Amino acid sequence: MTVQKLPTPDKPLRVGTRQSPLAMAQARMAATAICDAHTLPLECVQIVPMLASGDKIQDRPLAEIGGKALWTKELERALLQDEIDIAVHSMKDVETIRPDSFVICAMLPRADIRDRLIGAETIASLPKAATVGTSSPRRAAQLLHIRPDLKIVSIRGNVATRLSKIESGEVDATLLAAAGLDRLSMADVGAAISIGEMLPAASQGAIGLDCLTRREDIRTLAEKAGDKATFEAVLAERRFLAALGGDCHSAVAAHAFVEDSALWLRGEILRSDGGEKQAGKCLADNMDDIDALAEKLLAAASETLRAQFSK
């Protein structure tokens, strides 16, 4: 039997992350989870921050400049060049289809999956024709489905940057993930929107640990720090995305949840202008059922909505 070599202060586990405040907070959570799982001092993990392309380019929506890969490619390069051992990602920022050389080996327990509205108490209470800033096709379409009168403008940047746009009057409101705000000790910011009103993005609230597929030692180390229920739910949501064949322009929402001891998936697709929504639910313990739900929604969709997907 091979004895697993654990990291030490002299040879720490190198954890790569984007250098934004939220990403750094998530990396510290991952480091703590790994150390707690193996009863190690925090000195056994070294956090390695780096600037992602998505952080460098702030003036255009992600869909126009390369999509989700802009959040992950620098970390993937660092894994391949043995500069880090593990990369920490917000799972909703991870591409659905990835090279076989990488594997999400674990996920931390999921946080609050809801969105929070900043600038008003409810979507209904927003002023008529209010300007809402978001670069998310999902959030934009869901808002317009509820309130067709709203004006949606694209804004990007970290949490502080987005909040400053409300303070300056550039936008009337914005939406941010509750999980991110909580991790930044900003639990009192914004009003939570129920998932019945706005279904979240697939994988929202989940933090993933990424490593090279060939590094079985790292994979085993990380798995002990992971949460199985989160892993299974997020995999189901990502399967739904893959079955749809959407891209960064597609408005998709998904949420896997346990009900009566079974894993279920609720999913929806929307036209970008919010004028059409197709939604459904299925058992998620069988990947074929998830594929069937995606096919059902696409079959019911108009030609305009189906055109947002490759399937």
Q: So which residues are the catalytic ones?
A: 93
DSSP annotation string for the chain: -PPPPPP-SSS-EEEEEE-SHHHHHHHHHHHHHHHHHTT--GGGEEEEEE--HHHH--SS-HHHHTTTHHHHHHHHHHHHTTS-SEEEEEGGGS-SS--TTEEEEEEPPP----EEEESSSSSTTSPTT-EEE---HHHHHHHHHH-TT-EEE---S-HHHHHHHHHTTS-SEEEEEHHHHHHTT-TTSSEEPPTTTSPPPTTTT-EEEEEETT-HHHHHHHHTTS-HHHHHHHHHHHHHHHHHT--TT-EEEEEEEEETTEEEEEEEEE-TTSS-EEEEEEE-SSHHHHHHHHHHHHHHS-HHHHTTS--
- Judged on CB neighbours under 10 Å (0-12, 13-18, 19+), 93 is buried
- Distances in Å between the Cα of 192 and the Cα atoms of 110, 163, 187, 201, 277 are 16, 16, 10, 15, 22
Q: Cα-flanking dihedrals φ and ψ of residue 14, to 5°?
A: -95, 115
b/e per residue 228-257 (b: at least 16 CB within 10 A): eebbebbbbbbbbbbbbebbbebbbbbbbe
